[in-house]
Structure 1
Amino acid sequence: MTGAGIRQMQVIRVFAIALCLIGVTLSPLRAEEVLAPPVKPDNLNAPQADAAPPVLGDLLGGNAVPGSSTPVVPYAPAITPDAGMPDQGTESPVYMVARLSDDGPALTQGVTWRVYRPALNQNGRLELVATARGGDADFRLPPGEYFVHTAYGYAGRTSRISVRNGLTSQTVVLNAGGIKLDAQFSGNQPIRTGRLVFDIYEREYNSRGERKVVASNIKPGDIVRLNADTYHIVSRYGAVNATVRADIRVEPGKLTEATVFHNAARVTLKLVNQPGGEAIANTNWSVLTPGGDTVVEGTGAFPAFVLASGEYQVIARNEDKLYSREFEVKTAAHGEVEVLTSSLLKQ
């Protein structure tokens, strides 16, 4: 072929290439046709492994990429490189339930939960990391070891839990019950006057020969929640010497009702010039046992005391003069004790 023929063929080839380039520019392919193979009409919702990743705004909004018929895969959390699972943060869910006994129902109210780290802080105390009140408890805790104190009234238990990745659930059996206390006069007569309260002690003595107070100033009819055990109960009627003691057993998951009986009465003291006369003010009083031991002292025209049944001597002091009388207290026989000024004691 001559030189002229060769140049003619090169011109024709360049022209053909130019036409091809012009055709690509005028008829662009859509992005999905470049990045993924054609999708069959009956499989439009199937996720495509080779699809181009959508932009952030589409991931949050859940919309398709503009100009594309390929659906966007819903957003999923990033994959952690070590576990191969969605990264849900450094905390794990912890669910806890409390029961009074093994076969008792779950408590739905009145429970206090406190979660502590097992290591002591700089103040020498366990660090409180979470609390909850009500029935069951739902915490979010970093994996690790913890102490959990579960309190229900005066009942309580401390348990240890190990929190791992994923849900941790635990049931705490408190092994506790309740006690409801009341008091009457001997003979089943109700007590309607005077202050009546109960103190609850541990049954055993400590190294100092004392019982530890569990609960004090409990009113009649109040329900006290306690760990299952035997307790020493002291009923105090008034503030002097009318006390009754008893040992009562609390069973797990049960309410124990107990009534104690008092032999006592409320007396009002008066210094008068004659029986039924007007009380003399500014009088000091001392109530003594028959042996001379002081039971109680008071000041005023009408001091009132609840005293245990028995015999007593009362001494009234007014204007440096002493007056005396012996009297007896009978169960539930409330009344006045008059001291006559004619009972002047010789000094």
Structure 2
Amino acid sequence: MTDTGVRIDGNRLLLPGGAVVRFVRTLRLPEEGTHPLPPGLGEFPVRRVADYPDTVPEAWRARGGVMLPVYLREAMWLSFAGTREPAALQVGVGKVCAVSGRPWSGKLSRDPQNYVVLPRQPWLDGINSGTGTVRQFVAVPLGMGATVEGQVTGEEVWGGVQLQDFRLNERELARWREAERLRAGAVPRGAFGAAMPAPAAPGAAPSYGGAARARSAPAMGLGVGGSMRQEVYRDERPLEHWAESPAGRVFVHLVTPPQWRRVTGEEPPPSPVDRAAYTRAGLPWYDYYDQDAHDLAPTDPLRDVKPVGDWIGDDHEPWQEPGQQQVRPLKDAQGKPVEDGDW
């Protein structure tokens, strides 16, 4: 095992390239229609795999990384609040890029773009599957074909979530830091790039090959649910401004609640409140728009991914559309090291 430079601070993952990632619980959207951004309902607890050597399956130990508990069909979003310096973050779902739909890669690419740019991208709620929209991340077991991985690649081997970040190259990072230093006197503290207020709204390269191991324990991956209005922003920097190799990477295992209890001895969080009750209570939904950023066009592999309901049955949870007054406009309107393994 090697130290990736990734650290856990509470439930935040601090990647060495500067990316800060939290996994946020949220309401699952209906699979029909396009909706505002659902609210955050608290963070998923995150634990290091290395802290449970006697109870985690061998395959998890080999891949290293971290784990978090999810319920069947539970939805999540990734928050990047707290990221300060520019970073390019790759997000994989079963080693399929959530932005481009292409296989996981140790290199950044632009055609199509296979990363999000931080801190401009405040969060990511799902795969980039439509113009100005994403399809929500929803947890589903491997073996049914319902995951993004299964639908794009035809097999389900990896599951989980993969993260990898890149810094600006040394010259561009020095330029950026100098520009920030010169304008620091004119920019108030808490300006763009600072942590979002709570409750937040939805925020030579190493080898990634190797023979896939057979699963020895229940495993979860990410499929897709409903569509929501969210842009995945195009990088405005030339690709050569970024470092050629990633600063760090981490494998995030998605664990069923019973497995979480057996491995950690902890109780998982309770299942999220039903969405109709949330909306009836008048609690907020969100709409985020950045007038200076440009949305990435969807790619064919992700545009055709079907929602989990097509695989495991209709969603019978009641739905109540939020009123206009409930949709709030946003913006323009150190811990222990995480070990990496073979994946």
Which interval holds the TM-score relative to the shorter structure?
under 0.3
Q: Which of structures 1 and 2 has the larger relative contact order (alpha carbons within 8 angstroms, sep 6+)?
A: 2
Based on CA coordinates, which of the two structures has the bigger radius of gyration?
Answer: 1
Greater helix content: 2
Greater strand content: 1
TM-score (norm: length of structure 1): 0.21
TM-score (norm: length of structure 2): 0.21
